[in-house]
Homo-oligomer: A and B are copies of this chain.
Amino acid sequence: MATTIKSAASTAMSAAVQRLASNVLLNEEEVEFFEQLQVNRVAYRRGEEFVTDGEDFRLSFLIRDGWAIKYKMTKSGRRQIIGVCLPGDFIGLHINFQRRSIYSVAALTDLEVAIIEPIRILEVYQKYPVLASGLDWMTVRNFNILSEHNVSLGARPASQRILHFILEIWCRLMVVGAADDSGFRMLMTQEQIADTVGLSLVHTNKNLRKLQREGYISVDNGFITFNDKRKAVEFADFDERFLEQFQTRRLISAQIAPRETEEDELARMKASTGAPSKVAVKKGA
């Protein structure tokens, strides 16, 4: 099962392009450019820390395959995982603004990433307004994810917090084709989940078992299945609009001829999930 998912994610179109295509209509040229961005690749092994809090951080990463975590340590030695990075996610997209990292990043699984020089991202903003719009979308979405985490950590009890997190990961994996309707393979240990939802390992375990006992999820060898999604969403107080944000649109590329007028481009951005991006009014005014 796991193998199927993995191969699906790494064929033909990269996860990153799938992510972008879920928000914005891409043409062939854009897809090609974005794939090209990812030529410079590196692999990390499970457990490897490849960005360290406080140290130099001048290159951006784009996850092609595998999962990673962004985290910080408190002075009392507790680890708080700030974000889980899935295929198609950037790490350090806005790195232009800081010379040193203010968090650490480690590979949760064996990892395949593309290393991207910040300059190339600027190039996206200069030359590919639709792609840029997609990147901005990703930034906004990450902000929303982080906000939801805040709500969970601050105002939701243990079991809801955990289920909410599981639902979030599932949504995000769906977009890049690494989950199916029934569920997904959870690649985090309970300790890592605990450090994400701000609970102790023991308490996380007990509530995870409770969620199973009460029929919200089934766990089989790391594969999490939702028995009744509606019930789970309800119980976890999961914002359905959040879910909508991740609904991938089927329309991808090849629907629009490569060389288009500026009006077409604007139209494509308007057709994206939301209003036109900041680059939309490129020369309008």
Residues of A within 8 A of B (CB): 54, 72, 74-76, 78-80, 82, 94-100, 102-103, 118-119, 121-123, 125-126, 136-137, 139-140, 142-144, 146-147, 149-151, 153-156, 195-198, 237, 239, 241-242, 273-282, 285
CA distance A118 to B280 in the complex (A): 11
Contact B150 A153 (CB under 8 A): yes
Contact A274 B239 (CB under 8 A): no
Q: How far is the CB of A68 from chain B (nearest CB, A)?
A: 16
CA distance A195 to B103 in the complex (A): 26
Contact A239 B102 (CB under 8 A): yes
Contact B275 A154 (CB under 8 A): no
CA distance A241 to B99 in the complex (A): 11
Neighbour of A80 across the interface among B150, B279, B280, CB < 8 A: B150
Contact A281 B74 (CB under 8 A): no
Q: Note all chain B residues with C-beta closer than 8 A to A147.
A: 72, 82, 102-103, 146
Contact B280 A122 (CB under 8 A): yes
Neighbour of A143 across the interface among B146, B276, B279, CB < 8 A: B146
Contact A150 B151 (CB under 8 A): no
Contact A78 B275 (CB under 8 A): no
Q: How far is the CB of A94 from chain B (nearest CB, A)?
A: 5
CA distance A276 to B123 in the complex (A): 13
Contact B150 A96 (CB under 8 A): no
CA distance A103 to B154 in the complex (A): 15
Q: List 29 A-B contacts (CB under 8 A).
A: A72-B147, A72-B151, A74-B151, A74-B156, A74-B237, A75-B237, A76-B155, A76-B156, A79-B155, A82-B150, A82-B151, A94-B140, A94-B143, A95-B275, A97-B137, A99-B275, A118-B275, A121-B278, A122-B278, A122-B281, A123-B281, A126-B285, A139-B139, A143-B143, A146-B146, A150-B153, A153-B153, A154-B197, A155-B198
